[in-house]
Amino acid sequence: MEMEVALHKNDAPHWVYRGEGAVNLVLAYNGSSPLFVGKVLRIQKASRKVAPGSEQWVNGHERLIWKDNPDILSSPSKEIAQQMFVQNVMAPLLGSQHIDAGIRVLVPREFLESVEKNVLCQRPAWRIEAAKVNTNCDHALLLSDHSVFPHSIVKGEPCISVEIKPKCGFLPFSRFIAEGNAIKKSVTRFRMHQILKLHQQEIAQISEYEPLDLFSGSKEKIHKAVKALFTTPQNNFRVFLNGSLIYGGLGGGTDSTSFMVGEAFEDVLKCVIQAEVGMRMESFLHLVSETVSKSGVLDRLLEVQKLDIFDIEGAIHAYYDIVSEPCTVCRDLGEDIASHRYTSLHSIPSDESLKIVRDYLIAATAKDCSLMISFAPRKDGDSASPYSNVYLASTDQSFDYKV
């Protein structure tokens, strides 16, 4: 995994703000170098609350859990360990065609300082307060820009894409869930979180989205879920045109307003969806639903999410056994209840305990990933495309798509 590509201070003006999460800032390239056209750069952030270097990248417990993955254990930094985790653990499970682990590039401090200054005015205030660009990190991750098709950029053809955060698509079924938490078996974690966020005034209204519908496999329910995401996008639904955000929240805020509403969104769709005014948005949402259904990618994602067989209420007991510490959950419950319910978990071989914890962590990753679906209208007679294709009956159009 050698780094051969390096960026310099004078490259900084060509990297523009695309968005950010809690840990990374994402920049898109708008220059003309063939090396970077159609790419985004993921740079590390440093929390203003945590002292630099205070987080050990792979601790002793993690060494135990990932002992069968030498690439993760031998990584010289946390970022490379994360990249190896994506490449060696998640990609085989979700399909390498759907996963992009990226390549490492060298970035000097001057480049990072310049970028930080350039994007400051576009970052949400609460994100700036929480973290800054980590100017001590000498590398970043170069990834394909999944909001565009490379051939669309070159030919100047339109490309529209959606980013969906589907969240957890099933109700836990573990027998280790305590009676007092039985609601977990009938209400999704997303719905419960919505009520909590409303209570904490993080959102102004509860989302209409129900993850179970999106993962249901039923075309009607999938379409219902896509419409709900569009109606209340929060940070779960965004739309990009040629790589620029046109709908949904910016920078991962849970309740930031949409860029475009109603007529403006209808108008901007005209270069992609060939329908009358007033019909484009509906056709576009059908296109998204049809592709979610046809691609089958959510079935695979759900399979990986369901590696969480025991729920946290079961997995935590396996965790305490792995780290050779007394189980505080059993201690707090009292001996009678604990020995009755959890003895079986505390008496399994250590390899089984490891598998429970490892599967729990893999499932947690799958519950929090984003889905990027990109569309480019296919020209008549253009049958040689390397991409999958979806037909939109309402407009009689074919689209290349990638997920």
Using the predicted structure, report yes or no on whether residue 154 has a pLDDT greater than 70: no
Distance CA 47, CA 130 (A): 6
What phi and psi values does residue 120 have, to the nearest 5 degrees? -50, -45
| Three-state SS at 30 | coil
Distance CA 43, CA 131 (A): 12
- What does the pLDDT look like over 305-321, one tens digit per residue? 999 999 999 999 999 99
**Within 10 A of 127 (CB to CB), how many other CB atoms are there?**
19
| Three-state SS at 171 | coil
Q: Which two tokens stand for residue 363?
A: 């499932």
DSSP string, 117-160: HHHGGGS-HHHHHHEEE-TT--EEEEEE-TTS-HHHHHHT---E
Distance CA 240, CA 178 (A): 43
Give me the pLDDT at residue 253, please: 45
Distance CA 379, CA 160 (A): 15
**Within 10 A of 259 (CB to CB), how many other CB atoms are there?**
17
- Name the H helices within 186-296: 189-199, 211-214, 219-231, 262-268, 280-295
Pair type for strands 388-392 and 24-29: unpaired
| Three-state SS at 91 | helix
- What does the pLDDT look like over 104-121, one tens digit per residue? 999 999 999 999 999 999
Give me the pLDDT at residue 279, please: 93
Contact 283, 226 (CB under 8 A): no
Q: Specify the amino acid at residue 300.
A: R
Give me the pLDDT at residue 341, please: 81
- Residue of 62, 53, 104, 54 whose CA lies nearest to 83: 104
| Three-state SS at 105 | strand
CA distances from 19 to 159, 169, 245 (A): 19, 25, 9
Give me the pLDDT at residue 113, please: 94
Which helix (H) or strand (E) element contains residue 246? strand 244-247
Place 251 in a pLDDT band, splitting at 50, 70 and 90. Answer: very low
**Mean pLDDT on 339-363:** 92
- What does the pLDDT look like over 216-232, one tens digit per residue? 999 999 999 999 999 99
CA distances from 30 to 40, 199, 268 (A): 10, 41, 21
Contact 131, 42 (CB under 8 A): no
Percent of the chain with pLDDT over 90: 62
Distance CA 307, CA 35 (A): 38
**Mean pLDDT on 115-140:** 90
- The predicted model scores a pTM of 0.88
